[in-house]
Structure 1
Amino acid sequence: MHSTVIDTVEFPVNERTEAWAETMALAQVTQRVRFLETATFGARIELMPLGVGQLSALSYASVIAQRTPRLVRQSDPEMYHVALVTAGEIGIEQNRQSSLLRRGDMGFFDSSQSFDTFAGDTPGETLLFQFPKNLLRLPHEQFTRLCGLSLPWSDGIGGLFGQFLVGLAKEYPHCTPRDVTRLGGTALDLLSTVLAHHFDHDSARPGGSAASGESGQDVLFLRISAFIIEHLRDPALGPEAIASAHQISLRYLHRVFQQTGTTPRAYIRAQRMDHCRRDLADPALGHLTIHTIAARWGYPQPDRFSRAFRTATGMSPSEYRAAMRSSARSHTARGEDAAPGQE
C-alpha cells in the first residue's frame, strides 16, 4: 500500500508554517494551528488509510493545534482518536482534563468536542489511530471519560495494541489492500480489549464502581458485548440466552443496553450486519456464497437475511458485494498508477 507523506522540509523556510496550516485545515478532523517558533518550525505527517479508519505518523515541535467549537460545528466526521507517543512530549486537553504524554503513553480524543494539543521545543512523534465512533465496541460515555487522559501502551496489555500499531506503521508499504482492511479490524479489536481491561481493573479497585451504578453497567455491557460477538453464529442468540448466561433478569439486561441507546436485539442485528458486510467486501472470501456468509453469522434463512440486509444497507447482498468489488478494483488501479510515496 502507498501512503501519503507531507513534509515541510520540502517547502522554503518562509512557507512551511503556511503549508502545515493548510494541511491541518484539510484534515479529516480540521484543526487550527498556532506556531510558537516559526523560524525553526518543521513537521511531517504520513497518512496510511485502513479499511476501518486511518493511521497517521506525525512529527512536529513548537506548535499548538486546536479543534475549536466553531470547527466542530462546521464539520464533524464523528471519529475517535487514539494518539500513541513514540518520542518526545505531547500535551493534550479535552473535557477539562489534560495530560502530558511521554513516550509509552497514549491519549484519547473525540472529534465532536473541542480539544487542544501542543508540543514544545522537543519534537514530539506520535502514531494517531482514527476511526468512526460506531465501530468501537464500547459505550460512548466510557470513551469520552478518557478524553484528555492517558494510559500506557508500552507494557502490559496496552503493549499488545501499541506494538501492533508500531509494527503496522513499519510494514504498511508491504501490505495489500486486503491486508490493511483486516489489520484495521484487528487494531479495533485490540483497542476494545485494552479499554475493557482498563475499566474492569479500574472498577475492581477499592472505591471502584463495579458493584453498582452506571459504571458497573458499563463493565457488564463490555462483557455482554464480547459474549454476543463470540456467539453471533448461533441463530438462537437472543435476550433470553444472554440474560441466562450472565445470571441477570431480562429487565436489567434491557436497562444495561438502554444506557448505550440500543436494545439487545438491535445490537445483535447490527453486529451480524457488520460482520456480513465485512465478509461480503473481502475479496479473499469471494469463493463463498452469500448464503454461506449469512449462515456463518446467524442467518440460516436466505430470504430473512436478504430482507434484513436491504433494510440495513439499502442494497441486496449481491448488489453490495458487486459494489465493493468494483470499489476495490478502482482503488487498486489508482494505487498502481500512483507515484511511489503518493496515492
Structure 2
Amino acid sequence: MLPESVLRTVDLPVADRFEAWTQRLGHTHAPMQLASDRAADYRGHQRLIGLGGVAVWPATFDHLIFRRTPKLVRQSDPEAFHLSLLLRGEGMAAWGRQQAAYRISDFHINCSSRSWEVATGPDPVTIVGVEIPRALVALPTGRADQVIGRRISGREGTGALLAQLLVQLASDTGPYRPPDAPRLGTVVADLVTAVFAHAVDDDVRLPPETRDRTLVLRVKAFVNRHLDDPELTPAGIAAAHHISRSYLYRLFQAEGLSVAAYVRDRRLANARRDLTDPALCMMPVHAVAARWGFPRAPEFTRAFRTAYGLPPGEFRRQALAAGPGADTSVRGRSAK
C-alpha cells in the first residue's frame, strides 16, 4: 500500500473540527484562510497519498471558501501547483478580475505563488487534489503559469488520462507497494506537464522522455478501450496514434514490454475477472473469450492455462466454489 494519512473530522470533538480541517489543508497545499457556513460542525474527509515529490488527496467536504492572500504568499510559498478534479458538487475561483466556474470532471488549477479565492457550492463536494512542485512541471515557468485560471476538461484528451489515473489511485491504493510511490509520482508529473503543454499549445517543448511516457499512457488507454476487437494489432494501434510500428515497439520495449504481450495480458486479465464474477456464471467460456478479443476458443484456453495454471473452465469452477473474497491469484506463470 502507498504511504497515506487520513483525516476525518467526525473523529474529532465538534468544537475542534473546523480548525483541524484548516490546519490540514494549510499543510496540504499552503497556508490559507478558510471560512464556511458549516464551521460550527464541519464535516470533511481527506486522504493524503504520498507519491515522492507529488501528493494526491481525495477529499469530500462541506461548503468552504479558501483564500490565499498576498500576505500569506509573502509569508510562505512552497512553489507548488495545485490541481483539483471535481467529481461532485460545484465550485468557482477568482484571481483578481479573472474568474472561472467548474463543472463535474473539470480541473481547477492554481499555484501557491499567487493570491486567489475559491468557493464551493452549498452542498458537499468531492474532489481529487494534486500538489506538484513547480520544478516537476517540465515547462518554462511563464508558460506553465498561463494554465492558471483555465478550466481544463477531464473528459477528453490528456485531461481524461490524468483524471482516469487520479480516480484509479483514489479508489484503491492496495495493489501498489511503497517503492511504487515515486514511480507513480513521475507518471502524474508527466501527465500534468502534458495537460499544461496542451493547454498552452506547447507540446513541442515537452522533454522527449515526458512525451514518450505520455504517449505510452495514451496508447495503453486506447488498447484498453478496444480489447474486444480481435483485429487490434500493433499496426492498427500505431496508425491510430500516427506513429510507425517500429516507434511503437521502442516505446513498449523501454518499459520491458512487447505490444502483443500487453494486449494479450490485458485481455486475459479481463477474461479472468469475468470468469470469477457470479453475475456472469451463465455466460459460456467461449463467449467470455470472444468478449475480450479471443474469437478462437482453443487459442484462449492455451493462453489462459499458460497465464493462470488452469484451463478457464476449471479456473471458473474453483473460483465460484470458493465464493466471494477468496484468493484467485495466479497459480501459473504470468503471461510475458
Q: Same fold (TM over 0.5)?
A: yes
Q: Do structure 1's residue 120 and structure 2's residue 97 form an aligned pair?
A: no
CA distance in 2, matches of 1:65, 1:225: 32
Q: Deviations over 1:273-321 (max 9, x none)?
A: xxxxxxxxxxxxxxxxxxxxxxxxxxxxxxxxxxxxxxxxxxxxxxxxx
Cα distance in 2 between the residues matched to 1:229 and 1:105: 23
Deviation at 1:169, TM superposition (A): 2.0
For the aligned residues, what is the CA RMSD? Answer: 2.2
User: For 1:146, what is the secondary structure of its paired residue?
Assistant: coil
Give the match for residue 226 of structure 1: 207
Correspondence list, 1:241-256, <5 A: none
Distance in structure 1 (CA, Å) of the matches to 2:145 and 2:195: 15
Question: What residue identity is the alignment partner of 2:136?
Answer: L
Instruction: Give the structure 2 partner of residue 78 of structure 1.
Output: 79
Q: Secondary structure at the match of 1:182?
A: helix
Rg comparison, structure with higher value? 2
Matched position secondary structure for 1:54: strand
Distance 1:66 1:181, change over 3 A: same
Q: Which has the higher contact order (CA 8 A, sep 6+)?
A: 1
Could you say what secondary structure the match of 1:62 adopts?
Answer: coil
Distance 2:162 2:107 in 1: 10
Asked if 1:103 is matched to 2:84, the reply is no
Map 1:1-343 → 2, pairs under 5 A? 1-94=2-95, 96-200=97-201, 219=202, 222-227=203-208
Deviation at 1:49, TM superposition (A): 0.7
- Whether the 8 Å CA contact 2:102–2:151 is kept in 1: the answer is yes
**C-alpha separation between the residues in 1 aligned to 2:20 and 2:209?**
47
State the AA in 2 paired with 1:16.
Answer: R
- Answer whether contact 2:29 2:82 (CA < 8 A) is retained: no
Corresponding residue SS for 1:15: helix
SS of aligned partner of 2:174: helix
TM-score, normalization by structure 2: 0.58
* Corresponding residue for residue 300 of structure 2: none
Pair 1:164–1:193, CA change in 2 (3 A): same
* Whole-angstrom distance in 2 between the partners of 1:230 and 1:4: 32
Same amino acid, percent of matched pairs: 29
Deviation at 1:111, TM superposition (A): 0.6
Q: Take 1:95 and 1:110, find their aligned partners in 2: how far apart are those partners?
A: 14
More helix by percentage: 1
Equivalents in 2 of 1:34, 1:15: separation in Å?
A: 14
Q: Secondary structure at the match of 1:174?
A: coil
Query: How many equivalent pairs are there?
Result: 211
Once the two structures are overlaid, the 10-residue window that deviates more, 134-143 or 108-117, is 134-143
* Aligned AA (1:192): T
Q: Give the TM-score of the pair, scaled to structure 1.
A: 0.57
Contact between 1:36 and 1:64, CA under 8 Å: does it hold in 2?
Answer: no
**Secondary structure class of the residue paired with 1:46:** strand
Cα distance 1:147–1:41, how it changes in 2: closer, same or farther (>3 A)?
Answer: same
CA distance in 1, matches of 2:209, 2:23: 44
The 8 Å contact of residues 94 and 147 in structure 1, kept in 2 or not, is answered as no
Partners of 2:53 and 2:133 within 8 A in 1: yes
Contact residue 80 and residue 111 of structure 2 kept, 8 A:
yes
Please tell me the residue identity of whatever aligns with 2:84.
A
